[in-house]
Amino acid sequence: MRFAVNHRCGGIGGARVGALFAGNSPIPVETPALLLSTMKGLPAFLSRDLVANLPFPGPHPLHISPIDFLHGPTPSIISSIGGLNQMLALQNCVFVASARDSIESLPESVAANKLGASFETPGGRRLVKPSDYMEIISSLMPDFWASLADEVPARVSEKRNKASVDRTVRWLDDCIALDKTGGSNIFGAIVGGASVEERKRCATEVAKKNVRGFYIGGFGLGESMEERPSLLNAVVDSLPEEKPRQISGLALPEEVLQGVAAGIDLFDSTYIYHLTLGGLALVFPLDILEGEIFSTQLHNFGDVTKINLRATIYRKDTSPLVDNCSCYTCQNHTRAYINHLLNVHEMLAQILLEIHNSHHYLGFFRSIREAIKIDKFDLFCRKFIEGRRAHLTSSQPCYDVHESPFLSVQTN
């Protein structure tokens, strides 16, 4: 695995565009990049051929959780097949592994102890030791992977937070010692809850280790939007510039912009999955630097970034999800058809929605990269946030408590 920073917005630190070479592909993954979440190797509603047709600029980066493979084929069987790439016949994909997965493998900090991390899985609560974790990693053979981490919510005691940092650093040493490749593809996990001091301490300790990159965990577990920039900056300022940084738990567009502004390169989240499962489609424009960001025609229908296709207003709507969208769904089907599929509980609705939502969110990341390349990322962020605020002043939708658009994005 190789990584190079090709352009920084505003000099050292902050938003940056990079190239990540992984696997056997001569074409890099351009960063900042979205890692599509999967369920045992593939996105929930996309088959292998549909993944291959998504608009990736290079190899397809997919996020997997080794914990998902505790139930199913044994590590020895997966290893005999040749790892996850061979088992799924996805040679043109880059598999990125980290334990946390908000679909099936939820970290359970209360049940974790000095021996290992605890996870809630469909098969019940599981305590995973570094040796268990490394056995699965060795069989899956991901292109790179994060060490086992003790991720805790933001609101835990100072003693518990300190213990999580100590355990995570110790487990990193265990993972490196147990890795047959000597840590050549390992991302060191960084935790610390909502404490700037513990975040900085963990990042400083992990940066001393023989790792190829960094996995920043523990976000999206209760910290406020206002305190997140200082936590991100505390971590990133303690890390070397030349190594890639992955984060989990930042899902919404505004949260992604916060992460990019801090210098994060890879984002794994289950945002697309949860949108699709809820019958929601992303609709915000992607040419944010060129015109009005949000259309006024959406102001009466709730959240301006997405629409609810279950709503009766779309029953006779013969327009595509998004005009001029090049995805298969928008080129071939209408809002009315997807509304019908949702109401009769046909899984084709989720398939078509996940195609579009994946296509659209990947386009959002492409727009972010282009804005950084021309040194207009700060303008990009400002126009996006102002568009959300303008929408709120002209309508009064009911927002989920986790989706407040009043976010503070720090840019350079």
Strand, coil or helix: what is 186? Answer: strand
CB atoms within 10 A of CB 11: 7
325 marked ligand binding residue: yes
Q: How many CB atoms lie within 10 A of CB 47?
A: 10
Is residue 353 exposed (0-12), middle (13-18) or buried (19+ Cβ within 10 Å)? buried
Question: What does the H/E/C string look like for 297-353?
Answer: HHCCCCCCCEEECCCHHHCCCCCCCCCCCCCHHHHHCCHHHHHHHHHCCCCHHHHHH
Has 330 been labeled as part of a binding site? yes
Is residue 130 helix, strand or coil? helix
Hey, which residues does 254 pair with through a beta bridge?
A: none
Confirm whether residue 175 is marked as ligand binding: no
> d(Cα 17, Cα 366) in Å, to the nearest integer?
11
**Tokens for 344?**
């009769």
Beta carbons within 10 angstroms of residue 69's beta carbon: 21
Q: Is 356 annotated as a binding residue?
A: yes
Nearest to 350 by CA among 273, 289, 288: 273
Report the alpha-carbon distance of residue 32 to residue 260 in Å, rounded.
7
CA distance from start to end of the chain: 29
Residue ranges for the known binding site for Zn(2+) are: 325, 327, 330, 356
Residue ranges for the known binding site are: 325, 327, 330, 356
